[in-house]
Amino acid sequence: MDKKLNELKARLQAELRSVQDSEVLAQIKNKYLGRKGELTNILKEVKNLAAEEKPRLGKLANDIKFELQSLLDKTEKIVSKPSGAGVDFDPTMPGSRREEGHLHPITLVQRDVEEAFAQLGFGIYDGPQLESEFYNFSALNIPADHPARETQDTFWLENHNLLRTHTSNLQVRMLEKYGAPFRGIFPGRVFRYESTDASHDHTFYQLEGLMVDKDISMANLIAVMKSLLSAVFRTKVDVRLRPGFFPFVEPGFELDIKCLVCGGNGCSVCKQSGWVELMPCGMVHPEVLKFGNVDPSVYSGFAFGLGLTRLVMMKYKIDDIRLLESGDLRFLRQF
């Protein structure tokens, strides 16, 4: 094998001396170092050698490969250099522009909302996306056999764990940790086990809000919502409040806004209704306060679960939710 290798090296050196253009060079390169090249084949044989020969010949073969590769690289540089190098460089030509990255539309809107809430004295909190059945359901007054569980299609994991179906999983966690009074928002990713279409995705973003203090009422809730919406849309939006049922609030409401994609005429985003459910909300159920070790006879509070992804779609008039997680640059460059 020593002989074979040295002979091959000599042959390649000789061939390289006469090379004039890069096409021939590429052929030579392929002949020796390509997938079925001569040297490649020899290297493959190394593994069949006797154990005492292997280390020495293996090293030799690799050294020669390295040497030949650098020889080829050197030749390539010489061959590819244009004659009169430097002459065709025109310093007055504009340079090529470097593309800049930017924030995702969800991040942009999330920051707007966070800023609006920060001004109202709300802290911004984060928590687990991999959650227990307890915090995602039971602590929110949704017992094991309650039909409300079925309204959220869940990705179940082992040992009664799950991917959180909503950011409400943090309500009791936060009360346990910080107690009352409390004022906070929890933006984040949530997951639903459902088939996707223009307005449903298995992964999307919510922004939960929770305010607990003495004498908190619906009036506080409505005032906070209004200031939020005007901060985000920077334009007048029509809203309506409907009664809504969620086991963890009493009373519960749905806050809808007039669809900004179609102006209320009906489109795929608003399912032809002209209105989009943006923010379910309500007064925190006494049972939930109790789970968080907060005394409902002293404190009350409101909670809301803003559909952050939906809000983004409204703000930028995006008519297909799947675009947001698609990573498609033609879409992302527009923001």
Q: What residue ranges bind ligand DAH (CB under 6 A)? A: 166, 168, 208, 246, 249, 252, 280-282, 303-305
Q: How far is the CB of 163 from ligand DAH (least distance, A)?
A: 13
User: Which of residues 187 and 280 has its CB atom nearest to ligand DAH in the complex?
Assistant: 280
Q: How far is 155 from 253, CA to CA, in rounded Å?
A: 26
Residue nearest to ligand DAH (CB): 305
Phi then psi for residue 4, to 5 deg, are -55, -45
Cβ closest to ligand DAH, residue 245 vs residue 331? 245
Which residues have a Cβ under 8 Å from the Cβ of 289 and sit 6 or more positions away? 175, 180, 212, 295, 296, 299, 300, 301
105 or 305, CB closer to ligand DAH? 305
Render 1-64 in DSSP notation, one character per residue: -HHHHHHHHHHHHHHHHT--SHHHHHHHHHHHHSTT-HHHHHHHHGGGS-TTTHHHHHHHHHHH
**How far apart are CB 172 and ligand DAH at their closest, in Å?**
12
Specify the residue, 31 or 202, whose C-beta has the smaller distance to ligand DAH: 202
Angular region, 79: left φ>0, alpha ψ -120 to 50, beta rest: alpha
CA distance 165 to 188: 11
CB of 32 or CB of 302, closer to ligand DAH = 302
What backbone phi and psi angles, to 5 degrees, belong to 172?
-70, -35
In the complex, the smallest distance separating the C-beta of residue 191 from ligand DAH, rounded to whole angstroms, is: 11
Q: In angstroms, give the least distance from the CB of 34 to ligand DAH.
A: 57
The minimum distance between CB 282 and ligand DAH, in angstroms, equals: 4
Please say which residue, 292 or 305, places its beta carbon nearer to ligand DAH. 305
SS3 82: coil
Shortest distance, CB of residue 167 to ligand DAH, whole angstroms?
7
Other residues' Cβ atoms within 10 Å of the Cβ of residue 43: 17
